[in-house]
Amino acid sequence: MNAVQIIILIIAFCIILAGLVGIFLPFLPGVPLIFLGIFLYAAWTKFQFISTTTLIILASLAILSTLLNYLSSILGAKKFGASAWGVFGALTGIIFGLLFFGIFGLIIGPVIGAILFELAVHKQLKASLKAGLGAFVGFTASIFFDLVLAIIMIALFIKKVF
């Protein structure tokens, strides 16, 4: 490896590290940043170490991660027994939570939305709280899923480069 390749590798690892941090901080796109770091290194080295096929697989994982991040709270609420209104509340909570409260709203918005909509329609506190818990569990599951994907992507990157 020459000096330029080492510098590019360091830059790629910095972007990948930012992606790892982003898994736990919702305002950073964790897995997509990891993909970006890998893609930049692959492109700079003219795909000598990382093939376009590998990049397509990694891009697919990054897209899947992004979709699941947005859907996880909704799916969690549904799994914990939320009605269609509770699921709609979780979705509404994601939108308004992010809009008005930023990152914190992305975490707490779906929980509050699911609880409030369930409570308004069905007027049962226990079921409403369960739907809110489901939204939170879904969000937490998406973090775990992202972490697993990140480990797979980084391990593959290290294997291909070294």
The pLDDT, as a whole number, for residue 55 is 97
The pLDDT, as a whole number, for residue 102 is 85
pLDDT digits (tens, 9 = 90+) for 136-161: 999 899 999 999 999 999 999 999 99
Nearest-angstrom CA–CA distance, 18 and 102: 19
pLDDT digits (tens, 9 = 90+) for 88-141: 999 999 899 989 998 888 889 999 999 999 999 988 999 999 999 999 999 899
Using the Cα atoms of residue 6, residue 9, residue 13 and residue 15 in order, give the sign of their dihedral: positive
pLDDT digits (tens, 9 = 90+) for 30-58: 999 999 999 999 999 999 999 999 999 99
The pLDDT, as a whole number, for residue 28 is 86
CB 146 within 8 A of CB 31: yes
- The larger pLDDT score, comparing residue 74 to residue 7, is at 7
DSSP 33-84: HHHHHHHHHHHHTTTSSS-HHHHHHHHHHHHHHHHHHHHHHHHHHHHTT--H
Number of Cβ within a 10 Å radius of residue 160: 15
pLDDT at residue 26 greater than cutoff 80: no
Specify the residue for token string 């969000």.
139
**What residue numbers bound the domain in which 140 lies?**
3-161
pTM above 0.85, yes or no: no
Count of domains for the chain: 1
The pLDDT, as a whole number, for residue 33 is 98
Using a 10 angstrom Cβ sphere, with 0-12 exposed, 13-18 middle and 19 or more buried, the burial of residue 99 is: exposed
